[in-house]
């Protein structure tokens, strides 16, 4: 199946069809619609989640904050000791080529690298085992700028290496579903009452014209959108404080903001069915509009 698809992607007569695809999958050179793709059962991503991933937003064919996502991806590969044989420029060229094959104004670009295909064993496979590259691109509907989010507080039961964007996301999945079960869009994760971040996004709050968020450490992901919003705030003269804070402090905020690649920059109106925020529209809207302009 894979050899056939690789030949198909090199055929000029297929180019027009591929560039109008609704979604696209890639696995070690094989390319087809996501629904048609297969991966080996012994890919270490299947039974260990032994890999690193990234997600980018694509608008009108342009990959937002591309270099920042690429740099974080390679940093994470180094942290978990996965060897990958493509340079940053080679990977960027491949990802852009894949994006160019899919139609749609707004796309989600996802890719991951696992430690390879080998018989299940907790130890690393042989050093000459090649890593596996998987790519998925799909059309997405971005949230409306004026959509208000509801959050649910959930104990943070993740590992102590949340700074690594690994495939091990079961705690995030459970927290996200718990939030949905309570009619919420996201979960606020906390450790003994100290807020870390959300299940799949970063968290900010505004108080007295100052933007607060948890500090970068092993307990939160260094989000690309998080970094962009901090930089933007500083350029606009809005003070930024990166420090740990309790849930009680969050509940008293003037505004609460959720940020991620696909959520972008959205406003929170409720936590645990208690109304919160919505007290400093001018500052929030100035930040949100500036972010969307960027």
Taking only the tens place, the pLDDT of each residue in 51-76 is: 999 999 999 899 999 999 999 999 99
Choose among 254, 257, 280: nearest CA to 186: 257
pLDDT digits (tens, 9 = 90+) for 83-97: 999 999 999 999 999
pLDDT digits (tens, 9 = 90+) for 171-212: 999 999 999 999 999 999 999 999 999 999 999 999 999 999
Is this prediction's pTM over 0.85? Answer: yes
- Look-up: residue for tokens 């929030």? 284
Q: Respond yes or no: is residue 150 known to be catalytic.
A: no
Q: How confident is the model at residue 19 (pLDDT cuts 50, 70, 90)?
A: low
CA angle 176–108–258, rounded 5-degree value: 45
Q: How confident is the model at residue 5 (pLDDT cuts 50, 70, 90)?
A: very low
Total H helices, total E strands in the chain: 9, 15
Task: For the beta carbon of residue 127, count every other beta carbon within 10 angstroms.
Answer: 6
Residue 160 backbone dihedrals phi, psi, to 5 degrees: -90, 15
- Look-up: residue for tokens 């500052």? 283
- 165, 180, 252, 279: the catalytic one is 165
Q: How confident is the model at residue 291 (pLDDT cuts 50, 70, 90)?
A: confident
249 versus 2: which is more confidently predicted?
249
């Amino acid at each position: 199946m894979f050899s056939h698809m690789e030949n198909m992607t090199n055929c000029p007569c297929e180019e027009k069809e591929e560039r109008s695809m609704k979604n696209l999958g890639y696995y070690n050179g094989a390319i087809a619609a996501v629904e048609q793709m297969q991966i080996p059962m012994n890919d270490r991503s299947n039974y260990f989640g032994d890999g690193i991933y990234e997600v980018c937003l694509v608008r009108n064919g342009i990959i937002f904050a591309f270099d920042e996502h690429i740099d974080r991806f390679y940093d994470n590969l180094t942290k978990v000791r996965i060897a990958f044989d493509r340079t940053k420029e080679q990977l960027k060229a491949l990802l852009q080529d894949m994006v160019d094959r899919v139609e749609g104004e707004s796309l989600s670009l996802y890719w991951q690298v696992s430690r390879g295909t080998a018989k299940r064993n907790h130890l690393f496979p042989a050093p000459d085992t090649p890593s596996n590259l998987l790519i998925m691109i799909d059309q997405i509907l971005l949230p409306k700028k004026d959509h208000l989010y509801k959050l649910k507080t959930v104990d943070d039961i993740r590992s102590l290496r949340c700074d690594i964007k690994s495939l091990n996301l079961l705690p995030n999945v459970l927290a996200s579903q718990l939030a949905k079960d309570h009619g919420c869009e996201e979960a606020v994760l906390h450790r003994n009452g100290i807020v870390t971040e959300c299940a799949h996004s970063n968290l900010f709050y505004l108080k007295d014209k100052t933007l607060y968020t948890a500090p970068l450490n092993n307990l939160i992901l260094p989000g690309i959108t998080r970094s962009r919003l901090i930089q933007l705030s500083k350029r606009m003269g809005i003070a930024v404080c990166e420090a740990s804070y309790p849930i009680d402090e969050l509940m008293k905020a003037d505004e609460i903001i959720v940020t991620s690649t696909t959520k972008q920059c959205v406003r929170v109106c409720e936590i645990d069915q208690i109304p919160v925020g919505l007290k400093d529209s001018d500052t929030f809207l100035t930040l949100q509009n500036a972010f969307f302009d960027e």
